[in-house]
Amino acid sequence: MISEAAMDQILVSCLMITQPAPERLARARQSLGAYLAQTHPRKELVVVIEPKGLDGDGDGAVLVDHIADLRRPDIRVVTGLGAAALGALRNRSLDYAAGDIVCQWDDDDLCHPDRLRRQLALLLAGDFEAVYLQEVMQFFPASRAIYWTNWRATEAMAHPGTLMMRGGMPVRYVEAGAAASLGEDLDLARRLQARGHVGYLAGQAPLFIYVSHGANSWSQDHHRMLISELAISKGLLTRREPEIRRGLAAFDFGVDDVSVRGSNGEAFRIARGSAPTSLTS
C-alpha cells in the first residue's frame, strides 16, 4: 500500500472548462478558491476558457486577469482553441495536463478541501483506472436547500462530473453528436465501466457540492428530477447530522440559514458559516 508521503508526490491535474459569461464568472472564481484550498500538496489546475469574450474587457479577460493576480504557477490558462463541443474542450484539457492523475473540476460546482486526497487514496489503494464519488450534496441557492443524493442506482453508478482517472488513458470524451455537448461525462463513465476497473467512493457526499443555480447545462427540471429520485430521507440525514455538519463546515453558504432536506422534508438547518468559499454569488 502506498504511503502518504509517496501519495503526496503524485501530481494531480484538475481540469476546468469555463465560459466567459457573467453568470458563470463569480462561480468560476469560487471553484478556483476550492482548488486553492485542496489539502493534496502536488496539484495543478488547467483552465480552458472558451474563445467568446476573451478580447478587451470581456468576462473571459476578467477571469484571466484574476488568475494572473493569484500568481500561482500551478494554474495555467489555455485559450485560442476555437469553437468546439464541450467534449472536445475536455479532451484538449487532457492534452495540456501534466499530471499522473487527472480530475474533472467543473467551474460551477464546489469541492471540500479533502476531495482530491480522498479520491486519490481510493484510486491507489484499489489500483483503479478511475474513481468517482457515488454520493454528493446538491445545493439549490434560490431556495437555500441542500440534499444528500445517492447515485448508485443510476447508469453511471456515481456522479459523472466527479471523475478522477489515471493520465494517458485510451478512453476520451466524445467529440461528435448530441452527447459531445451534453452528457459527455456520462458517455465517458460508461466506457470506463466497460473496462472494469472503476472504483466508487461511497458515504462521503460532503466532499462535493453540485450547485443547481439555474444556469447549468442541464435544466432546473432535470435537477429537480434528480432530487426526487436520488435524495436520501430526512431520517438518514438526521442520523448523519454530525458528519454532515463537519463536512459542510468548509463552505460558507452566505447570510441565511440552509435547509438540509431529505426526500420527505427538512431534517435540520445549518446557520451561516465563516469559511472563505461562498456559494451565494
Can you tell me whether residue 139 is helix, strand or coil? strand
Q: Is residue 206 part of a domain?
A: yes
Contacts 24+ apart (CB under 8 A), 165-168: 165/101, 165/102, 165/123, 165/129, 165/130, 165/131, 165/192, 166/100, 166/101, 166/102, 166/123, 166/129, 166/130, 167/13, 167/94, 167/97, 167/99, 167/100, 167/101, 167/102
**Structural domain of residue 8, as residue ranges?**
4-270
Q: Is residue 99 part of a domain?
A: yes
Q: Is residue 277 part of a domain?
A: no
The model's pLDDT over 186-197, given as tens digits with 9 standing for 90+, comes to 999 999 999 999
Q: Is residue 278 part of a domain?
A: no
pLDDT band for position 278 (cuts 50, 70, 90): very low
The model's pLDDT over 209-251, given as tens digits with 9 standing for 90+, comes to 999 975 556 568 888 889 999 999 999 999 999 999 999 999 9
Closest CA to 34 of 271, 252, 264: 252
The model's pLDDT over 118-139, given as tens digits with 9 standing for 90+, comes to 999 999 999 999 999 999 999 9
Half-sphere exposure of 263 (CA within 13 A, CB side): 12
Q: Is residue 275 part of a domain?
A: no
For residues 126 and 112, give the distance between their C-alpha atoms in angstroms, rounded to a whole number: 22
pLDDT band for position 81 (cuts 50, 70, 90): confident
Q: Is residue 78 part of a domain?
A: yes
For residues 175 and 153, give the distance between their C-alpha atoms in angstroms, rounded to a whole number: 27
pLDDT band for position 56 (cuts 50, 70, 90): very low
For residues 14 and 103, give the distance between their C-alpha atoms in angstroms, rounded to a whole number: 5
Average pLDDT of the residues in 108-117 = 96
Q: Is residue 58 part of a domain?
A: yes
Residue 193 belongs to domain with CATH number? 3.90.550.10
Give the DSSP letter of residue 4: H
For residues 172 and 191, give the distance between their C-alpha atoms in angstroms, rounded to a whole number: 9
Q: Is residue 281 part of a domain?
A: no
Q: How many domains does the chain have?
A: 1
